[in-house]
Amino acid sequence: MHVLFVEPAFPRNQRDFVRALAAVGARVTAIGESPASGLDSELKSWLHGYEQVPSVTHEESLLQTVQRVQEREWVDRIEATVEAHILPVAKVREKCSIPGTSVRTAFLCRDKPAMKDALREAGVPCAQSIGATSLEEARAFGEEAGYPLILKPRDAAGAAGTHRVDDAAELEKAAQECGLADGMPTAIEEFVEGHEGFYDTLSVDGEVVHEFISHYYPGVLEAMRTRWISPQILTTNRLDSEAYAEVKELGKKVALALGIETSATHMEWFYGPKGLKFNEIGCRPPGVRVWDIYGAANDLDLYEEWAKLHVQGRTDACASRRFAGGMIALRPEGDGRIRGYEGIEEALAFCGDAVIDHHFPPPGSPTQGVEGGYMANAWMRLRHPDYDDLRRMMDRVGETVVVRTEQ
């Protein structure tokens, strides 16, 4: 099978998808923005071919490249795994008559108001929302739905560009900052109170073959705005618990409503006073290398599992559920450069063989802002057979390790 894979070099774990495709027997032609000379020898060893484009999100350039490859040889599939690449790749896929995720599905997973309209129509509870292009529309929605509200770009991923507004005055300010006041298309939705988590799957022909449920501590918006917090992501090994039955059942409804067939998925949810509500949906893997944690916790190579589904249409592997897994982001005390660390040796000692891996940028390294995300600075990834013990261990890491900085 000949598979085109869009953007093999960035972010760093993109190479693992190429590795996995080659490992299960695919001939891989990668399409990326870097010159071929910039690819390392290991990555090149997995490739059947390579095509450079100015931008993988520029649909016309991508289309011409794919058509050029098709003139040389048969193409079975074209795949992408980064949020911003999914829709342009789907449009090219359709124009080139290559099977895979449809334009409709890619659009619904990218455009937040359209996504929620489709979910509500299918009976999946989610936040009230609209797509707005004017401050007048936003004001009217605020009066109808009530505050707080969340404003974000219609095609945002995660918490990027997200604003919470608690009243009409904050709405006016946020509308100026995000461009809504000047006509920038913006998704506006009610703020859903509650605990935040996500449901990730790998599916083939619409049937779930692997599933994982994870939790944020605290929620993403708070984590990406508050420096003193060392935010955590934990994945549970208790998927058979009755507490997760509704999450899994609604996840199936989501996939059916959006037309997700052979694909990875990432489904964000909230559980609070208004019950369970689904939020952001992606027909792609989760970010911040969460698949690495799933693999370490479940004795699986999720990248190879993804590749098997696209190349072979099946898998015979099962998640072991031996461990719960997680990661904790360790924030610098301020912006500038890293001066040093306190508590690393103590943290590694009490975590022992629960440590999967860790990253501590050396002294002198520039820091990245809080909004940079969970892997922007120092972090540790752990696993443990008991979820509650793992969470206590991660709390202790957050209380122990200090990242000192200087201007």
pLDDT per residue as tens digits for the range 234-276: 999 999 999 999 999 999 999 999 999 999 999 999 999 989 9
pLDDT top residue among 209 and 112: 209
Whole-number Å distance between alpha carbons of 12 and 389: 31
d(C-alpha 107, C-alpha 299), whole Å: 34
- Which tokens belong to 61? 């350039």
Q: What are phi and psi of 182, to 5 degrees?
A: -105, 15
Q: What pLDDT score was predicted for residue 160? A: 64
CA nearest to 323, candidates 369, 355, 358: 355
pLDDT digits (tens, 9 = 90+) for 183-200: 999 999 999 889 999 999
pLDDT at 371: 87
Displacement of CA 276 from its chain's centroid (Å): 20
Strands (E), 147-260: 149-153, 163-165, 186-190, 195-204, 207-217, 232-235
Q: Which two tokens stand for residue 379?
A: 């972090």
First to last CA, the chain: 53
pLDDT at 112: 86
Backbone angles phi, psi at 112, to 5 degrees: -60, -50
Distance CA 199, CA 181 (A): 35
Q: Could you tell me the strand order of the sheet in which 129-132 lies? A: 129-132, 186-190, 149-153, 163-165
- In tens, the pLDDT along 62-81 reads 999 999 999 999 999 999 99
Give 152's pLDDT tier (boundaries 50, 70, 90).
confident
- pTM, whole model, 2 decimals? 0.93
pLDDT of residue 128: 87
Show the CA angle centred on residue 289, arms to residues 295 and 216, nearest 5°.
95
Q: Is the pLDDT of residue 399 over 90?
A: yes
Q: What is the pLDDT of residue 158?
A: 56
Is the per-residue pLDDT at 341 higher than 90?
A: yes
Q: Does 394 have pLDDT greater than 70?
A: yes
Q: Is the pLDDT of residue 322 over 90?
A: yes
| Domains of the chain (ranges, CATH numbers) | 2-100 (3.40.50.20), 128-190 (3.30.1490.20), 195-406 (3.30.470.20)
**CA count, 13 A, side-chain hemisphere, 43:** 22
Q: What is the pLDDT of residue 281?
A: 96
What is the model's pLDDT at position 159?
Answer: 60
Q: Residue 249: exposed, middle, or buried by beta-carbon count in 10 A (0-12, 13-18, 19+)?
A: exposed
**Within its chain, how far is the Cα of 145 from the centroid?**
28
CA-nearest of 28, 92, 29 to 56 is 92
What length does the chain have?
A: 407
Alpha helices in 122-213 (DSSP H): 135-145, 168-178
> What pLDDT, on the 0 to 100 scale, is given for residue 383?
98
Which has the closest alpha carbon to 224: 196, 201, 250?
196
What pLDDT was estimated at residue 229? 94
Picking from 87, 84, 7, 71, the residue whose alpha carbon sits closest to that of residue 39 is 7
